[in-house]
Amino acid sequence: MTSPSALPGPQAPALDLGGRTALVTGAAGGIGRACTLRLAAAGAKVRAVDRDAAGLEELAGHAGELAGAVEPHVVDLTDLDAAELIAAGTDVLVNNAGLQLVRPLEDFPPDVFHTVLTVMLEAPFRLIRGALPHMYGQGWGRIVNVSSVHGLRASPYKAAYVAAKHGLEGLSKTAALEGAAHGVTSNCVNPGYVRTPLVEEQLTDQSRAHGLPEDRILTDVLLRDSAVKRLIEPEEVAEAVAYLCGPQASFITGASLVLDGGWTAH
């Protein structure tokens, strides 16, 4: 009898985005950068969008042989008209740019609340709006929204971020319902805490808000509810984004793919 390990395993088709154009927002940052490189490695031309010109330049340098596939675009997504325009003609849209401020509600600056909602909810709406005519025209498109566990759960002191991510979940599901008849899927990925500058910069703020030393923030606050006691790597999130762009995911839409080390299993 043939042992099970000797049997040929089912072959998952490799992701092939040759001839496709992708757009990743927040491409200079941790997750966006990993998504840009992953989609470029799958053969896509990637519009790498960020307001951070130096970070985009560094990404292009880091891309090595994929550099030709990465087109840097310096865009501040608070310019919503520019956001809509840059999305025209894309086959794959990854809404990823984000920012965070950790402050109790009564001290939360209204202008920051407004900016967070603009970049993390209104800009994705405008980018989707800009991308859909081309996607609908060809009967194929992939929208992946980088949400968070905070799209599904709240945490104290993150009013704007939690509100924006919950809104993004609703936007993503609506895009899924409208896009289905046109071959367009829309999904969220929902990571727990990822090893990126956004998290590293939070440690000081969190330390002040919780009255705990910084070294205890990671174990006592950030990873408290995670069954797997480590940060997730940006490349692991990018792999989930890539999966949602592949042919084997064409029936997955309106979903939230949770990568949270068991956080929401509680």
Binding site for ligand NAD (CB under 6 A): 26, 28-32, 50-52, 55, 76-78, 96-99, 119, 146, 148, 191, 193-194, 196-199
Among 136, 157, 161, 193, which one carries the catalytic annotation?
161
Which residue lies nearer to ligand NAD by CB, 88 or 198? Answer: 198
Helix H or strand E segment including 95: strand 92-95
Examine the residue annotation and report whether 193 is marked as an active-site residue of this protein: no
Which of 193, 143, 192 shows the shortest CA–CA distance to 168?
A: 143
CA distance 73 to 53: 8
- Rounded least distance, CB 204 to ligand NAD, Å: 14
The helix/strand/coil state of 252 is coil
Amino acid residing at 89 = G
- Rounded least distance, CB 111 to ligand NAD, Å: 13
Which residues fall within 8 angstroms of residue 157, CB to CB, at 6 or more apart?
A: 102, 103, 104, 105, 206, 209
The helix/strand/coil state of 212 is coil
Which residue lies nearer to ligand NAD by CB, 185 or 202? Answer: 202
- Rounded least distance, CB 237 to ligand NAD, Å: 7
Nearest residue to ligand NAD, scored by beta-carbon proximity: 29
The helix/strand/coil state of 187 is strand
Which residue lies nearer to ligand NAD by CB, 16 or 200? Answer: 200
- Rounded least distance, CB 28 to ligand NAD, Å: 4
* Strand order from edge to edge, sheet including 70-74: 70-74, 45-50, 21-25, 92-95, 141-146, 184-191, 256-259
Measured at the CA of 131, the angle between CA 180 and CA 121, to 5 degrees, comes to: 90
Which residue lies nearer to ligand NAD by CB, 92 or 119? Answer: 119
Question: Which residues are marked as active site?
Answer: 161
